[in-house]
Chains A and B, each alone.
Chain A
Amino acid sequence: MVAITIRRRTLLLALALLAVVASGVAIAAWSTSTSGNGYAKATTATALTLSDASASTSGDLYPGGSGDLELKVANPNSFPVRITAVTLTAGGTITSNVGACDSAGNGVSFTNQSGLAIDLAANAAATVVTLPGAVQMSSASGNSCQGAIFTIPVDVTAASN
C-alpha cells in the first residue's frame, strides 16, 4: 500500500513537471525573437530638366549691351532643390536662328553665374527662370542679328534645399 502511494506521488510529480515544461515551451513560442537585416532604400538625385525657353525671351540685347538669359527648368526630384550655378557647357557654342547672323559672328557671349539661390519646389513643373544681364552682345554684332533668338548651351548645378 505504501509502495502504491509512493508510485502515485511519483506519477503526480512527473505530470506536474511535464506540465511546467510544456507551459515553458508555450511561453518560449510566444516570446520568440530573431535578429537580421531590415532594408530601406534612399532615393537618388535626378538631374533637372531644361526645355525651350525661347518664347519667354524679351528681345533686350543690343550691340555693346547685355540682356537676360531665360531658362525653363523642371525639378523631377521628390525634394526641393536650389539652383546654385549656371555655366556655359564646355565646348558649347552660342548659335542663333539666323544663319547670316552666325556666319558673320553673332558677338553673343554668356557670363557664368555662381552663388545663385533659385529655389524649385519638389516635382516642380517647367518654370521660367531669368538671369538678368547674363548675356552680352558685342558692338560688332551684325545688322542681321536684329531680332535673332540665341540658343545658349548651359549646365545647371543644383542641390537639395
Chain B
Amino acid sequence: MPARLLIGGVAALLLTAASATAAWTTPAAGGSAAARAAALPQAGAPSATKSGIGTVTVSLSWPPVPGATGYLVARTGGIGSLGGTCTGTLTTTSCSDGPLLTLQTYSYTVTAVHGGWTGPAGPATTVNT
C-alpha cells in the first residue's frame, strides 16, 4: 500500500510538471524580413612609377578595395594596348604595363570586381613616358 501511494504521488508530480511546462504556440506570424546586398566601392587611383630607357615599363599599385576579389586595370592614351601583367582580372593590387613607347601619355584606372559585379572605376593616374 505505501508503494502504491508513492507511485501515485510521483505520477501526480510528473503530471503537474508536464502541465506547468506546456507552452502555447502563437499563430504563425507572416510578414517580411530583409537583407541587403553589398556594393563595391570605388577603387583608389593607382600610384605609378616608370622605368627603362627606349622602352618603358610602368609599375602600378593601388590600395585594396573592401569586398573585392579581383581588379581590372584599364589604360587610355598612347599607342598600343594594355600589356604586361596588367591584363585580365587580377587578384593582386599591383601590376606592370609594358613595353611602352616613349613620348606618350597614358592614363590608368582600376576597377574592383567580385564575381559578376564590377564597381565604379577609380580616378585616373597619368604617366608621361
Contacts and interface: CB of A to CB of B under 8 A. Distances in A.
Do A and B come together as binding partners? Answer: yes
B25 A64 contact: no
Interface of A: 45-54, 56-64, 67-71, 73, 77, 79, 81, 86, 89, 96, 108, 110, 131, 135, 137, 139-143, 145-161
Interface string B6-41: 000000000000000001111111111111111110
B34 A161 contact: no
A70 B33 contact: yes
Contacts of B28: 47, 155-157
25 contacts: A48-B29, A50-B30, A53-B32, A56-B34, A57-B36, A58-B36, A59-B38, A63-B117, A69-B33, A69-B34, A69-B35, A73-B31, A96-B37, A110-B33, A135-B35, A141-B115, A143-B116, A146-B40, A149-B35, A151-B33, A152-B35, A153-B31, A155-B28, A156-B28, A157-B29
Contact of B37 (A47, A49, A147, A152): A147
Contacts of B117: 62-63, 141, 143, 145-146
Contacts of A61: 35-38
Contact of B36 (A54, A77, A161): A54
Interface size on B, as a range, is 20 to 34
A67 B23 CA distance: 32
A51 B31 contact: yes
A64 B29 CA distance: 30
A146 B36 CA distance: 9
Contacts of B32: 50, 52-53, 151-154
Contact of B34 (A52, A64, A79): A52
Contacts of B24: 45, 79, 159-160
Given A45-B24, A159-B23, A108 B35 contact: yes
A142 B37 contact: no
Contact of A73 (B27, B29, B35): B29
B38 A62 contact: yes
B34 A151 contact: yes
Nearest to A158: B26
A6 B28 CA distance: 89
Nearest to A136: B35
